[in-house]
Amino acid sequence: MSALLPTYARSGLSFARGKGAFLFTEAGERYLDFSSGIAVTALGHAHPRLIEALTAQANKVWHVSNLHHIAEQERLGERLCDATFADRVFFANSGAEAVEASIKAARRYHFVNGAPERYRLVTFGGAFHGRTLATIAAGGQSKHLEGFGPPVEGFDQVSGFDLEAVEAAIGDETAGVLLEPIMGEGGMREVPYRFLQDLRTLCDEKDILLVLDEVQSGVGRTGRFYAHEWADITPDIMATAKGLGGGFPVGACLTTEAVGQAMTPGSHGSTFGGNPLAMAVGNAVLDVVLAPGFLEHVAQMGLRLKQRLAGLADEHDDVIAEVRGQGLMVGLKCKVENQKLIAGLRERGMLTVQAGDNVVRLLPPLIVGEEEIDLACATIDTACAALKVSASENA
Ligand code: PLP
């Protein structure tokens, strides 16, 4: 019996090493990794720039705490601000912590600006924001809330991307609106640009904050540095994580100056957040992701993937209902049980991830090349064909 809490349904696979878009088992079996550890290993496995940054920092100093100035943290903070809407950054260790900090910052902003009653956030059905008590309340999914007592107060969930519903949910106690520009866990559902723009306007009109959770969609995943850039809007607060550390745990809450000012000394903190190792890797990730041409590469590969998948969806219309997503954040809405397609792909040496709404998520590393995309599509083709055969045999 395993000593670990049985919180995960594991595949049974165990990987000894990785290189680029591939993982290898102890026995040397090769897997094409279109999961990236759930949108984390943005630069693939064993990227030389990341190895160099991590080992160089490991030979200097690992951890000093936020009682002291951390040069690499200042640097990563500045670079994130230069490349985004943000003026201030708080570093954490995970996506949930980054969202948690974002929720606290939204509440605190109104508190210091004379409206302490404004603590509620409007959230969206099907959202996923993490597994802490506040973030499961924000996500509002009963399967995540069950058994953990009364949900944290202060989240008003609306369904669909319906502006009138959001307007109706906004009251005197509303601090802001929280959403993912593309719902990852919720089934790779893209929020229409127009809706994001309308939300921005609505938040301005009501004097409340737009809080974006770009934990999964950020750091180049959609072909822009952050997905909201496609809609030509900026948030007041944004949570980011996953790809930011390329596999090293890093999370961050980015804010405007007005919001950042509210987070006075002692109002929030983290022992590990922004430690020198994490920051060295984060800076190295940005060296690559923000280098000229990198995001264009992601957009091009995303286009190639989506075009190929559209063809496969036509060919296998009894398996694939729809292709969703943007850049290298793509979902296959299935007509068969999504787990069957995931298992079929795994049997053929390709890793993908499940999502809600019966979707299979394709999250290749951002360094993926044409050959790997073509290999992925060939594998999806054979896995779909095999599902068709087994369905007709069972008929
Ligand atoms: N927010 C979004 C949009 C996510 O996709 C995730 C994780 O999948 C989280 C938050 C939570 O991140 P973490 O698991 O690092 O706490």
Q: What is the pLDDT, as a whole number, of residue 388?
A: 83
pLDDT one-digit tens code per residue, 3-56: 999 999 999 999 999 999 999 999 999 999 999 999 999 999 999 999 999 999
- Flag whether pLDDT at 394 surpasses 80: no
- Flag whether pLDDT at 83 surpasses 80: yes
Average pLDDT, rounded, for the chain: 97
- For the four alpha carbons of 205, 206, 208 and 214, in that order, the dihedral sign comes to negative
Give the pLDDT band (50/70/90) at residue 395: low
Q: What is the pLDDT, as a whole number, of residue 142?
A: 96
Strand 237-240 to 209-213 pairing: parallel
Span from the CA of 69 to the centroid of ligand 1 (angstroms): 28
pLDDT one-digit tens code per residue, 190-211: 999 999 999 999 999 999 999 9
Considering the chain, what percentage of its residues have pLDDT values greater than 70?
100
Give, using CA atoms, the residue closest to atom 15 of ligand 1. Answer: 95
Q: What is the pLDDT, as a whole number, of residue 244?
A: 98
Ligand 1 atom having least distance to the Cα of 99: 10
Span from the CA of 289 to the centroid of ligand 1 (angstroms): 20
Query: Which has the higher per-residue pLDDT, 394 or 261?
Result: 261
Strand 359-362 to 350-351 pairing: unpaired
pLDDT one-digit tens code per residue, 342-367: 999 999 999 999 999 999 999 999 99
pLDDT one-digit tens code per residue, 202-247: 999 999 999 999 999 999 999 999 999 999 999 999 999 999 999 9
- Flag whether pLDDT at 108 surpasses 90: yes
Span from the CA of 216 to the centroid of ligand 1 (angstroms): 7
Ligand 1 atom having least distance to the Cα of 251: 15
- Flag whether pLDDT at 392 surpasses 80: no
- Flag whether pLDDT at 281 surpasses 70: yes
Around ligand 1, the residues with Cβ closer than 6 Å are 38, 94-96, 99, 128-130, 180, 184-185, 213, 215-216, 241
Span from the CA of 38 to the centroid of ligand 1 (angstroms): 9
Span from the CA of 387 to the centroid of ligand 1 (angstroms): 31
Give, using CA atoms, the residue closest to atom 1 of ligand 1. Answer: 129
Phi/psi region, residue 219 (left: phi>0; alpha: psi -120 to 50; beta: rest), is left
pTM above 0.95, yes or no: yes
Q: What is the pLDDT, as a whole number, of residue 393?
A: 79
Ligand 1 atom having least distance to the Cα of 130: 11
Yes or no: say if 159 and 124 are a contact pair by the CB < 8 Å rule: yes
Q: CA-CA distance, 342 to 337, in Å (whole number)?
A: 9
Q: CA-CA distance, 230 to 105, in Å (whole number)?
A: 25
* DSSP symbol at 235: -
- Flag whether pLDDT at 145 surpasses 70: yes
The candidate with the shortest Cα–Cα distance to 97, out of 303, 241, 257, 197, is 241
Q: CA-CA distance, 103 to 10, in Å (whole number)?
A: 31
> Hey, which of 129, 214, 237, 270 would you mutate to test ligand 1's pocket, going by the most ligand atoms within 8 Å of its Cβ?
129
Span from the CA of 44 to the centroid of ligand 1 (angstroms): 19
Which residues, 6+ apart, have CB-to-CB distance to 98 below 8 Å? 92, 215, 239, 240, 241, 251, 252, 253
Token couple for 325: 């997503």
Span from the CA of 251 to the centroid of ligand 1 (angstroms): 10
Q: CA-CA distance, 244 to 228, in Å (whole number)?
A: 16
